[in-house]
Amino acid sequence: MDILVIDGQGGGLGKAVVSALRSRFPSAVIMAAGTNSTATQQMVRAGADHGATGENPVAVMSRKADVIIGPVGIVIADSMHGEVTPAMAASVGQSDAKRILIPVNLCDNIIVGVPDTSLSAMIEGVISAVEAVWKDRQPAMDGCQERC
């Protein structure tokens, strides 16, 4: 399974997600797309197989991914202090991948009805969601070759 993690700003959320995914799903291909080079570097250091920065990598990797994970801002144009371009948000939104969005109430995007939750609890939720997708896709993935 190809998992894309997208993050920006300091890359701390993406780093934590990649680290948790790598320990739970060692055979998954984890791709990291940063809205800036710092975020990309953090995710690659945490164990992502591939990393790239900017609008075009988000578009390309979104087409290849089975699952896309990131803060809710990755589907909102001009979010994360302008780091998410309209093309990035469209690429994520138009992808056939399952999207697992982390409800981070920052940068003028407030999600009501979602309790204030610790980062570690949110990452556990991400892992649980990926496990569900992994189980659903496992029989379909038998015999498939890795995509490049």
Which CATH number characterizes residue 70's domain? 3.40.50.720
Measuring CA to CA, how many Å separate 139 from each of 127, 132, 133? 19, 13, 11
How many separate domains does the chain show? 1
What average pLDDT does the segment 11-39 reach? 95
Distance CA 61, CA 68 (A): 9
Confidence of residue 138 (pLDDT cuts 50, 70, 90): low
91 occurs within a structural domain: yes
147 occurs within a structural domain: no
Q: How far is CA 57 from the centre of its chain?
A: 13
10 occurs within a structural domain: yes
What average pLDDT does the segment 114-135 reach? 85
Are the C-beta atoms of residues 49 and 30 closer than 8 Å to each other?
A: yes
What average pLDDT does the segment 42-46 reach? 97
12 occurs within a structural domain: yes
The predicted model scores a pTM of 0.85
Ranges 49-58, 70-79, 90-99, 130-139: which has the least confidence:
130-139
Residue showing tokens 């992994």? 134
Specify which of 18-27, 114-123, 132-141 reaches the highest per-range mean pLDDT: 18-27
48 occurs within a structural domain: yes
Total H helices, total E strands in the chain: 6, 5
55 occurs within a structural domain: yes
What average pLDDT does the segment 81-93 reach? 95
Q: Which domain holds residue 136?
A: 2-141
57 occurs within a structural domain: yes
148 occurs within a structural domain: no
pLDDT at 116: 77
